[in-house]
Amino acid sequence: MSMNTAPPAMAAKERRWITSRPVRRFVRHRLAIAGLVMISAIALLCVVGPWMLPHGMLDIHIRDRFSPPGSETYLLGTDAMGRDLAARLFMAGRVSLMVGIAAMVLSTFLGAVIGLVAGYFGKVIGTVLMRFTDAVLCFPQIFLLLVLAAFLEPNALMITIIIALTSWMEIARIVSAEIRSLRERDFVTAARVSGASHTWIMFRELLPNTIGPIIVAATLTVARAILIEAYVSFLGYGIQPPLPSWGNMLNNAQQFLDTAPWLAIVPGVAITLAVTSFNFIGDGLRDALDARSDLQ
């Protein structure tokens, strides 16, 4: 058997798998489409928004401090230093979305590899890895994350890494469970008999078969990563000013809550909308990709 090409029957099956029912089901899922539209709009605004506004995100207009939303040239008002909230919001969106997505990629990779190895090598290695996963899960994520953020130098990259380090466990569990059930199937035995290496079997035969649950979990991980980044930055342990993020925009909002409530409301709404979008998309993907939902 050639090691470089998948059997044609399987390739054809995969193609059909991608173009048919799951995609139709996802499209039929109104919430998922709403989420997709919403997040696309947010992302577009964050990318082109700053160029379309009259003020830069760092321009200080001391006379216009605490302008409420809708006043003159300030679409969403200004903050305590008279900076345009809209400009900051869009720039912050770039940072928050990037951190969320990058943390997802990293933690998905970490979780998938750990789950794959644990599931494939069962017995000793698998048990040790999964017990380790369980042990990390015992630490409430935000406590663990804050300790790491306090001990390590916080910057955008480090925060991304720390979020990933504290959120790979769920994907590891999902993947390891899937792999364990797949491991004894005929196509794996066939590959093993034909002399395929462990790496080949793990990454070319097994991993593609768990892609559905991984995609779903990854989408929901973006949602959670955005929430976590916001909270950690809100507390001052995350993204550091002057680089804005949705979280650190809320940093000072609490003390001006009475006089300038929009400082708290605007970034919070942005976070909620973005996170809701990813949760909606994740829900749609679950319905589309989860074989079990066929039965319901």
Partner 1 sequence: MLRFLTYRLAHSLLLLFLVSVIGFMILHLAPGGPLSQFALSPGMSQAELEKIAERMGLNRPLPVQYLDWAARFVTADWGESFRDGRAVLDIIFGHLFATLLLILTSTILSVGLGTLVGVLGAMRRYSAYDYLATVGAMVALSIPTFWFGLVAIYVFSLRLGWLPSGNMYTIGDESFLDYAEHLIMPSVVLALVQVAIWSRYMRSSILDVVGQDFVRTARAKGLTRRRVLYVHILRNALIPMITLTGIQLPTLLSGALVTETVFTWPGIGRLFLDSLGYNDYPVVMGVLMFTAMFVLLGNLIADLLVAGVDPRVRLE
Q: Closer CB to partner 1, residue 194 or residue 255? A: 255
Q: Closer CB to partner 1, residue 13 or residue 28? A: 28
In the complex, least distance from residue 258 CB atom to partner 1, rounded to whole angstroms: 5
Q: Closer CB to partner 1, residue 205 or residue 287? A: 287
HSE-up of 5 (CA within 13 Å, CB side)? 7
- 112 CB neighbour count, 10 Å cutoff: 24
Q: Closer CB to partner 1, residue 103 or residue 230? A: 230
- Spatial separation of the C-alpha atoms in residues 94 and 82, rounded to whole Å: 21
Q: Closer CB to partner 1, residue 31 or residue 98? A: 31
In the complex, least distance from residue 38 CB atom to partner 1, rounded to whole angstroms: 11
HSE-up of 95 (CA within 13 Å, CB side)? 26
H/E stretch holding 148 reads helix 141-151
Which residue, among 101, 140, 115, 20, has the nearest Cα to 281 in the 3D structure?
Answer: 101
HSE-up of 246 (CA within 13 Å, CB side)? 29
Q: Closer CB to partner 1, residue 186 or residue 258? A: 258
In the complex, least distance from residue 19 CB atom to partner 1, rounded to whole angstroms: 28
Contact 111, 170 (CB under 8 A): yes
What DSSP state is assigned to residue 123?
I
All residues at 6 or more sequence positions from 47 whose CB lies less than 8 Å from its CB, including other chains: 94
In the complex, least distance from residue 152 CB atom to partner 1, rounded to whole angstroms: 7
Interacting residues with partner 1 (CB under 8 A): 31, 131-132, 134-144, 146-148, 150-152, 223, 227, 230-231, 234-235, 237, 250, 253-254, 257-258, 261, 264-265, 267-268, 271-272, 275-276, 279-280, 283, 296
Structure token pair of residue 267: 């970034």
